[in-house]
Structure 1
């Protein structure tokens, strides 16, 4: 059975990742995996100190640097274990029956890609350990993750609240058609009010596709509010989200290198950096 993979770290965003994962696991009735990846930390000092200090002193400092690296790795390992244990306990207390905690050494993206075949949803925090609560600082892994995975990704906001509605940014192209179909096939967004929003483009049949999308959502049991807007894509979508108290943004994306064609580009990166609600990327 495919799992929800929730990626946690030492940042304050991990709480919302855990809460989002517990919420999604309950709706989808899926096993839940909490993943903590220990990446190699960059060396704080140059290892080539020749010509700067004497041989004896250099040898002593290099030994101390090696000891610090070992201590840092040990602390990261123990802290990760505590984070995973706390997350697993929280999920069990919330009623999740199938929960596992996994800790891996290596680059985060590589680790996640090695587990992706068993995933139905990946959850990651919007920002990392250095961002605090500043949602304008996009995590270093987010863009790379969206470029490489083929699984839907939920990018959480700092403080999770159960959504009452969502906005589907629809442009009539293949990406958002696939996103629409995933929404209809999944139980994750069932019962939430849907705001179907599009920005006018040059497609001759855009209005027709937009109307058809609304009909499909209504037939699927959603209460739908439609808006056909004009102007700058990211600005109009962000304004709509804020003015209509939208709890979650849903967008489609190409997989692999085609991400640049719609999702990964200046408009969407602006939205990820400036949107103050969770973003669900359907792929």
Structure 2
């Protein structure tokens, strides 16, 4: 892994993202690209648009210019503070600061081309409102990204124990392989968990044993367990009972129709677990 793309805004989650980026760079010699995207929607609200009619075209253009200038200054300050925070964490890191105007999801394909991992907050600048919901930008990025997504929690916590929620899907196998090989988790205690309905227990048990064998080859301290019940509630309970610091799993693996009708286990676990999550597609 050579570069981590860190997506920030002015929220508490942006601070957490920077601290996790510094943690990663202390574990792995990576380049950090910190990106701030000015959201065009802030300049397209009805009030701003109506100024064009009430002020006339020239004053309106001046107001828009001032708003854009303020957004540029906000981006500059936010990126500068992010760089200082990452450096203050003792991170021996090569750091790039990038400012774009538009929408993060629309810029994602270009930005992630040179990155090996995307790091962003679970929520954004509206985090004080509707606190049980995920940020819409985070969900859209996690669904669109082709690279692993590190979703940061509101507060930074040292990662000493990691839970892999395993279901033997291709994305889940990617997660096991990453944990097995990455220096990020070389000192962490690994919990490998699968959730199975009784009627398919043997199939799930076989897959779990294969993943367990792979992780043990890497010498990780490992706890391996099969749970029964619904996936998301079972994993959330296990996280709380075992004081897990990070969740690793495959993401959004079901069809769009199934997600529309009954929702996504990924979304449910992200909402229910107040800890960072590493998602694989």
Fold-level similarity (TM above 0.5) = yes
CA contact (8 A) 1:126 1:138 kept: yes
Cα drift, residue 72 of structure 1:
2.3
SS in 2 for 1:205: helix
CA distance in 2 between counterparts of 1:154 and 1:213 reads: 22
Cα drift, residue 132 of structure 1:
2.6
The CA deviation string for residues 237-276 of structure 1, in whole angstroms up to 9 with x for no partner, is: 1011011101000001368x968889x9422211112210
The answer for unaligned runs of 5 or more in structure 1 is 50-56
Cα drift, residue 96 of structure 1:
2.4
CA distance in 2 between counterparts of 1:160 and 1:118 reads: 26
Cα drift, residue 26 of structure 1:
1.6
For residue 127 of structure 1, what is the aligned residue in structure 2?
123
For residue 173 of structure 2, what is the aligned residue in structure 1?
177
SS in 2 for 1:228: strand
For residue 43 of structure 1, what is the aligned residue in structure 2?
45
For residue 84 of structure 1, what is the aligned residue in structure 2?
79
The answer for unaligned runs of 5 or more in structure 2 is none
Compared with structure 1, are the counterparts of its residues 133 and 232 closer, same or farther at alpha carbon in structure 2 (3 Å cutoff)? same
- Most deviating of 114-123 and 36-45: 36-45
Compared with structure 1, are the counterparts of its residues 82 and 48 closer, same or farther at alpha carbon in structure 2 (3 Å cutoff)? closer
CA contact (8 A) 1:133 1:158 kept: no
Matches within 5 A, 1:234-249: 234-249=232-247
In structure 2, which of residues 189, 194, 202 is the aligned counterpart of residue 193 of structure 1? 189
The CA deviation string for residues 25-58 of structure 1, in whole angstroms up to 9 with x for no partner, is: 1212101111111121232338579xxxxxxx94
Compared with structure 1, are the counterparts of its residues 46 and 125 closer, same or farther at alpha carbon in structure 2 (3 Å cutoff)? closer
Cα drift, residue 61 of structure 1:
6.2
Cα drift, residue 86 of structure 1:
1.6
The root-mean-square deviation of aligned C-alpha atoms, in Å, is 2.6
Return the TM-score normalized by structure 2.
0.88
CA distance in 2 between counterparts of 1:63 and 1:259 reads: 47
Matches within 5 A, 1:1-283: 2-40=2-40, 41=42, 42-45=44-47, 47=49, 58-60=53-55, 65-93=60-88, 94-132=90-128, 136-201=132-197, 202=200, 204-253=202-251, 265-283=263-281
SS in 1 for 2:136: coil
CA distance in 1 between counterparts of 2:91 and 2:50 reads: 53
CA distance in 1 between counterparts of 2:218 and 2:116 reads: 21
As a proportion of its length, which structure holds more helix?
2
Cα drift, residue 75 of structure 1:
1.4
Return the TM-score normalized by structure 1.
0.87
Cα drift, residue 172 of structure 1:
1.8
